[in-house]
Structure formats: structure tokens, C-alpha cells
């Protein structure tokens, strides 16, 4: 519980936006899902979708921003860029079409199509390293997290990443930020009531349009009412399903669930 209180103190209210050369990419955060193909399709996927931005100086990563998002549409991704990146900065992305409007918003957009095989180019290496570090940290250190608490863990990761070269200063900064916050109740932390509410957006490619899409939206609303889809868009199975996926006994599963742990 104390760690959750500290995670809420890791976000600086008036933090500055990134500037210079910024690499941006999206990533799925969640365990492997059998039968789910790769790519951008969101229909039926339990993983959460996040967008990451890494500020680089002379090719070296400096600062990081992460945000959970409902989809990878232009309004969502460009909105994130405008929120965390100073206008006039160089924004490097892959070839995804949703970033095409960045130039019109006052950014210098470097769009690099990755290609495949021998012609493959990694356009955003700093972001890909950050994504790998994030997933390894969630799986290795925390053994997975509850979906509704994921945003708090992302805030902690960003705080650690941005202060990785000066750990003593990070500790003092956290203490200072903590003293400026009011108390957070157990009910608020347990229910993640102060975390961003991300509404799951199904993929156009799978759901289509018109009547079929409205039917999917209605079913989605029914699932949310039954608390089957949590705030980050990850599906939450029943208690027995969580035990089976964790691979632990009944008593251990209850103890782990009380600590807020499920597979990442």
C-alpha cells in the first residue's frame, strides 16, 4: 500500500515538455494471448495499448513519457504528441499513417518506413529499448500487475527512467513530491479511482462499420457493466482463471490477488 502511495507521487504536476529529437512508437503491454495474431488489431485483445516518447540528445535517450491510449488513430497519437512534445521539435516515427498530420501541427516529422528482411530499418531504437526495459521490469520485478493499476506502474517506470543516472537525487525528489500531496485513501488505491479511465476501442478492421460495429459497441458496454473489462482495456478473467494462468495453488492465488498481482 505504501508503494502505491509513492507511485502517485512520481508525477511532477508542472513537468516540462520534451524537446529536440523525439522518438515515438506504440506498444502492447500484456501477456501472450493464444490465437491472437500480431499487428494492430484490437478486437478481443486483452493487452493494453500505450504510446511512448523518448527525448534523445546526440542519439542518447534522456527523458521518457508514456500514456495508455484507447486506439492508434491520428486524433489520439497526435494529441499525445501535442501534450508532451514542444512545437518545433523533430519527431521521428515509423510509417504508421496516423502520424502524417504532425507537420501541420508545427513539428518537423521524420517518417521512416521500417521495411522487412534485409531492408529492415529500426527508426526508433531508443523507444524500442525503453519498451523492452518496461516489459522486463513489469514481468521480472513485479511478476505482472493488475490492469487497473497499470497506469501507476507506468508512472513509476517513467520516474525511474528519467532519473536513472542520479539515484540519490531521485530519492530526494520523491520525498519532496510526496510531501506536497494530500492523503490517498485505501479505497481510492484499491479501486484505482484516481487513475485514468481508458475506454477500450475495438479495431475497425475486425468489427467493420454500421450495424455490426454498433453491435460490438453494445456488447462492449455490457462487458464493462459486468466489470469484465477494466480501465486499461485488459480483460479480467474469473478467480479460477487467474489461478490457472498464474500456475499457483488456491491459497497462494488468494494471497497474490490481495497484493494486486496478475500476469503482465
Distance from the Cα of residue 256 to its chain's centroid: 23
Q: Is the dihedral of CA 161, 165, 167, 172 positive or negative?
A: negative
Contact between 125 and 59 under an 8 Å Cβ cutoff? The reply is: no
What is the pLDDT at residue 199?
62
pTM: 0.71
Instruction: Give the residue from 134, 131, 178, 195 showing the smallest Cα distance to 12.
Output: 178
What is the pLDDT at residue 201?
64
Read off the C-alpha cell for 228: 469484465
Exposed/middle/buried for 77, CB within 10 Å: 0-12, 13-18, 19+? buried
What is the pLDDT at residue 24?
98
Going from the first residue of the chain to its last (264 residues), give the mean pLDDT of each consecutive group of 10, the final group possibly shorter. 70 86 94 74 81 95 94 95 97 96 97 85 94 93 85 89 83 72 74 71 54 48 37 33 32 38 36
Coil/strand/helix, residue 111: strand
Instruction: Give the residue from 192, 179, 248, 245 showing the smallest Cα distance to 46.
Output: 245
What is the pLDDT at residue 15?
85
Read off the C-alpha cell for 65: 513519457
Exposed/middle/buried for 263, CB within 10 Å: 0-12, 13-18, 19+? middle
What is the pLDDT at residue 176?
73
Contact between 174 and 6 under an 8 Å Cβ cutoff? The reply is: yes
Rg (CA), the chain: 19
Record: fold of 2-191: Nucleotidyltransferase; domain 5 (3.30.420)
Amino acid at each position: 500500500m505504501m508503494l502505491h502511495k509513492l507511485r502517485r507521487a512520481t508525477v511532477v504536476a508542472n513537468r516540462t515538455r520534451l524537446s529536440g529529437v523525439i522518438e515515438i512508437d506504440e506498444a502492447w503491454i500484456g501477456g501472450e494471448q493464444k490465437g491472437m495474431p500480431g499487428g494492430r488489431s484490437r478486437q478481443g485483445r486483452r493487452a493494453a495499448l500505450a504510446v511512448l516518447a523518448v527525448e534523445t540528445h546526440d542519439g542518447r535517450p534522456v527523458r521518457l513519457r508514456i500514456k495508455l491510449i484507447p486506439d492508434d488513430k491520428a486524433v489520439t497519437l497526435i494529441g499525445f504528441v501535442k501534450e508532451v512534445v514542444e512545437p518545433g521539435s523533430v519527431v521521428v516515427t515509423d510509417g504508421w499513417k496516423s502520424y502524417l498530420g504532425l507537420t501541420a501541427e508545427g513539428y518537423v516529422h521524420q517518417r521512416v518506413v521500417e521495411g522487412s528482411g534485409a531492408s529492415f530499418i529500426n527508426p526508433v531504437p531508443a523507444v524500442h529499448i525503453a519498451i523492452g526495459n518496461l516489459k522486463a521490469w513489469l514481468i521480472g520485478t513485479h511478476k505482472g500487475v493488475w490492469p487497473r493499476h497499470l497506469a501507476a506502474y507506468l508512472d513509476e517506470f517513467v520516474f525511474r527512467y528519467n532519473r536513472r543516472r542520479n539515484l540519490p537525487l531521485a530519492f530526494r525528489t520523491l520525498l519532496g513530491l510526496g510531501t506536497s500531496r494530500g492523503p490517498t485513501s485505501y479505497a481510492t488505491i484499491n479501486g484505482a479511482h484516481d487513475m485514468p479511465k481508458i475506454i477500450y476501442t475495438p479495431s475497425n478492421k475486425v468489427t467493420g462499420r454500421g450495424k455490426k460495429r454498433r453491435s460490438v459497441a453494445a456488447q462492449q458496454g455490457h462487458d464493462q457493466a459486468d466489470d469484465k473489462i477494466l480501465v486499461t482495456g485488459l480483460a479480467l478473467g474469473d478467480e479460477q482463471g487467474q489461478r490457472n494462468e498464474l500456475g499457483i495453488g488456491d491459497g497462494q492465488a488468494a494471497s497474490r490477488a490481495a497484493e494486486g498481482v496478475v500476469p503482465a
